[in-house]
Amino acid sequence: MLALWDIDGTLLKSEHAGIHAMLEALHELHPGRSFSFDGIEVSGRLDPLIYRELAAKHAIPGDDDAHATFRATYTERLRARLAARNTVRALAGVGELVRALHDHAHWEQGLLTGNYEPTGFLKVTHAGLDPSQFRINAFADHGATRRDLPPVAIRRYRDVTGRAVPPERVVIIGDTPLDVDCAHHNGCRCLAVATGIHPPDELRAAGADLVVDDLSDVAGVLRWLEA
Ligand SMILES: [Mg+2]
């Protein structure tokens, strides 16, 4: 069994540290220009796509080299920002649930996220979670869209454990309709948690297999995962 965690709005909240650090990076790379996220959807989306939309909106280079420079600058800005003031907090029940899955013989877990690998791990670490407990990961750089990421994690499961995991034994835990979509597109289950910006009704309408207000009922969530 494999549990794949979204980061923002699911494992943790950061007071938008990522968005602030992205804006700082853009200002560092393009002094004198002003930037905003107005009109750009970030929830549930992959960071490289967000950069390309920002680049198009503000008429700055959006090619691979420019993106690589942005990625590195954003990573350093987020690292410095969180070192100066850690605004990242794990959400209710998350720490306990991650530990329980880690200790469980039948479960592996990892991150399936729109974050870049270094910024994703920065957030997870600043939330007080142990990054070594996430072994099967798929990050924003590993696919063009979120739908591409579950197959990456399923391949990694086989590489890490030496066993195959069928998609129906994979649960994606996320806070947006895009998490539900990427799960069902790949034959996986989706546990949706309404701790992001999407209310329970919207997650239910998206077809989530289970919707919870938060993850504080750890025993109840574990029972559902095991069923
Ligand atoms: Mg999210």
pLDDT in tens, 63-101: 999 999 999 999 999 999 999 999 999 999 999 999 999
C-alpha of residue 140 to centroid of ligand 1, in Å: 12
Task: Report the SS3 class of residue 118.
Answer: helix
Q: How many residues does the chain have?
A: 227
User: ∠ at Cα 106 (141, 90), nearest 5°?
Assistant: 55
- How far is 121 from 117, CA to CA, in rounded Å? 6
Task: Report the SS3 class of residue 85.
Answer: coil
Which residue's entry shows tokens 């503000």?
Answer: 58
For residue 210, give the amino acid letter: L
C-alpha of residue 48 to centroid of ligand 1, in Å: 15
Residue 74's CB is within 10 A of a number of other CB atoms, namely 24
Q: How confident is the model at residue 227 (pLDDT cuts 50, 70, 90)?
A: confident
C-alpha of residue 194 to centroid of ligand 1, in Å: 10
Which H or E run contains 174? Answer: strand 170-174
Would the pTM count as exceeding 0.95?
A: yes
147-203: pLDDT as tens digits: 999 999 999 999 999 999 999 999 999 999 999 999 999 999 999 999 999 999 999
Show the beta-strand stretches assigned E in 175-215: 189-193, 210-212
C-alpha of residue 7 to centroid of ligand 1, in Å: 6
C-alpha of residue 119 to centroid of ligand 1, in Å: 14
Do 198 and 176 form a contact (C-beta atoms < 8 A)? yes
